[in-house]
Amino acid sequence: MHPAWLLALPLALLPWLAWLRPHTIRFSALRSVTSRRTWRSFGAPVLPLLECVAILGVVLALARPQEVRRETLRESQGIDILLAIDTSGSMDAPDMRAGPRELTRLEASKLVMTQFVDERPDDRIALEVFGEDAFVQVPLTLDHEALSDFISQLEIGMAGKNATAVGTAIAIGVKRMKELDAPSRVMILVTDGRSNAGSVTPLQAAEAAAALGVRVYTIGVGSAGRGGLFGGMGGADVDERSLNAVAVRTGARYFRAADTNALAQVYAEIDQLEPSTGRTKEFVHRDERYLLALVPALLMFVVHMGLGATVLRRLP
């Protein structure tokens, strides 16, 4: 565009100002002057008006108006992440806080997990639920909006509420991820108990994960002293030693989260440890639109010349 040409817009008023300028006509006798108006006198303002519009169109055309369209192409090489969350009965303990609100462990986990999903647009993420049993609720997907909807619908007891099969959860997650072709494969497991169900121990499952290159980050949630990390509901205290061993064996880390802020910090740290790689290219398309102004301007000039030479012709 050449916006400097817009400074010339006042030139479009010159024909109209010239027409408004008072004119003095001398007659040899008053009888030569008549007060009768004709259709030509009524049509006289049309000519300067056409000139104004024509000049306005030319100035706008010289400014080169354009329609700009931006196209963003994102080239991403994200990682595959499986989120495994404990939905056993002890996750219903209301000992987590988000500001003034008191939340259960499951509610706090869902809240922070959704934020984590939103901040990793380039990664395929899956959701696994476990308790007495374990199953993949959502397979790996880039549709994070749908995934967040599923996370919000998680409930206590979806996979059994009376026990916690941590080893089974890890084994099922690893089985789902073993054939994936991704630069990095990560599992994030959230629980507040110890593994007391299933035929696979957490360490056995960790061996399989390590062999297949799947890193398993483990998170123990719950406040100490309230059915949390050191004396859970129904004896479901977290087995920190086991969860730490799983993480270390797979090249990951174990985290403790005693409140919502700590849980958010855990996910933020994992986000730093497992960065996604992506590049963004922006293409700018510019379509010239000066003809939208120039064509009407030329048409006004032609009409002006035609009327000025015929029906609205004036004597010098």
Q: What is the arithmetic mean of pLDDT over 48-59? A: 78
Taking 90 as the threshold, does the pLDDT of residue 45 lie above it? no
Judge: domain 76-277, CATH 3.40.50.410.
yes
User: Tens digits of per-residue pLDDT, 212-271?
Assistant: 889 999 998 876 544 444 344 433 477 788 999 999 999 998 988 877 787 888 888 887
More confident residue, 32 or 170: 170
User: Tens digits of per-residue pLDDT, 136-171?
Assistant: 999 988 899 999 999 999 999 998 888 888 999 999
Q: What is the arithmetic mean of pLDDT over 270-295? A: 72
pLDDT of residue 274: 73
Q: Which residues pair with 129 in a beta bridge?
A: 85, 135
pLDDT band, residue 33 (cuts 50/70/90): low
C-alpha to C-alpha distances, 279 to 48, 75, 76, 122, 125, nearest whole angstrom: 56, 5, 6, 10, 19
pLDDT of residue 54: 78
Q: What is the arithmetic mean of pLDDT over 180-199? A: 82
Taking 70 as the threshold, does the pLDDT of residue 286 lie above it? yes
More confident residue, 30 or 211: 211
pLDDT of residue 229: 41
Taking 90 as the threshold, does the pLDDT of residue 193 lie above it? no
**DSSP letter, residue 73:** E
Range with the poorest average pLDDT among 4-18, 26-40, 96-110: 26-40
Average pLDDT of the residues of the chain: 78
pLDDT of residue 230: 37
Report the C-alpha gap between 103 and 101 in whole angstroms. Answer: 6
pLDDT of residue 48: 73
Kindly give, in sequence order, each residue whose CB lies less than 8 Å from that of residue 189, ignoring residues fewer than 6 positions away: 84, 85, 166, 169, 170, 173, 216, 217, 218, 219, 243, 246
Secondary structure (3-state) at 285:
strand
Q: Where are the domains of the chain?
A: 3-66+288-309, 76-277
More confident residue, 180 or 125: 125
Q: What six digits make up the tokens of 107?
A: 């509610």
pLDDT of residue 19: 60
Report the C-alpha gap between 228 and 46 in whole angstroms. Answer: 87
User: Tens digits of per-residue pLDDT, 83-124?
Assistant: 999 999 888 888 887 777 788 889 988 988 998 888 888 788
Range with the poorest average pLDDT among 15-19, 29-33, 185-189, 285-289: 29-33
Taking 60 as the threshold, does the pLDDT of residue 316 lie above it? no
pTM greater than 0.75 (yes/no): no
